[in-house]
Amino acid sequence: MDFLINESQLRAILQEQDESRMSDYMKTMYSFTKNLANRVGKVYGLNLKMLLTWGTAVGGLVMPLDQFIKSGNFDLSDDQRYLVLAGAAFILFYDNKKGLVNVLEKIKEEGLEEVFRTTLDKGRDLKSAFKGFLSSINVSIGSFMDTVAYAFLIPIIIDIQHIAEGSVDPKDAGLLIAERLISSGIVVVGTQVLSQVIRKIIQKLK
């Protein structure tokens, strides 16, 4: 049996999500990217501050790769792991940028080409899967930057799914979730556009 919930109840649910996950996820993703850029910059002398332009999106796409490396049979130091992730992030977001050459040189110097290629392949698979998901809900993805603009949604899809399980108006839920995410101050997508995307996700998951 489906149970209808009113807007005030939905807001209460989202408040709980906000306190426990959603807002924290935004901050965690941005902090991860910032730490990645700062650490690689300090250890290897590379300037990766441009990754902060898409801080939460980078985190959304690269944090799963971090877990992939940690759970695999890779014998890497923490610094080497961050270097590999930086290289993957640089290619996934800025494939044609001059600074990529310097990152790849450091990866080669450290003898990390194999783990880098494996990690990058996983990143490309994730990017492709997410792009396919957006296409399946009719979200316009004219360029890759259209895709990565929403990459911060990857870690919170499950939370959105939990909300979608309630019989609520996807439009209202999408707007309320978008407002929560925008309020973090580190999401570069506008409220209206984001709410429409989330509404389509909810409709897809219901």
The pLDDT tens digits along the chain (206 residues) read: 333 434 454 455 445 544 445 567 778 888 999 999 999 999 999 988 888 877 888 888 899 999 999 988 888 999 999 999 999 998 888 765 667 888 999 999 999 999 999 999 999 998 888 888 878 877 766 665 666 677 877 877 777 777 666 655 667 777 777 776 766 656 666 677 777 787 887 777 66
**DSSP secondary structure of the chain:** ---B--HHHHHHHHHHHIIIIIHHHHHHHHHHHHHHHHHHHHHH----GGGGGGHHHHHHHHHHHHHHHHHTT----HHHHHHHHHHHHHHHHHTT-TTHHHHHHHHHHTT-HHHHHHHHHHHHHHHHHHHHHHHHTT---SSHHHHHTTGGGGGGHHHHHHHHTSB--HHHHHHHHHHHHHTTS---S-HHHHHHHHHHHHHHH-
pLDDT single digits (tens) 144-163: 566 667 787 787 777 777 76
**Separation of alpha carbons 3 and 167, rounded Å:** 6
**Cβ contact 82:41 at 8 Å:** no
- Domain layout of the chain by residue ranges: 7-205
pLDDT single digits (tens) 1-10: 333 434 454 4
| Whole-Å CA distances, 184 to 60, 61, 103 | 15, 18, 31
Share of the chain above pLDDT 90, in %: 29
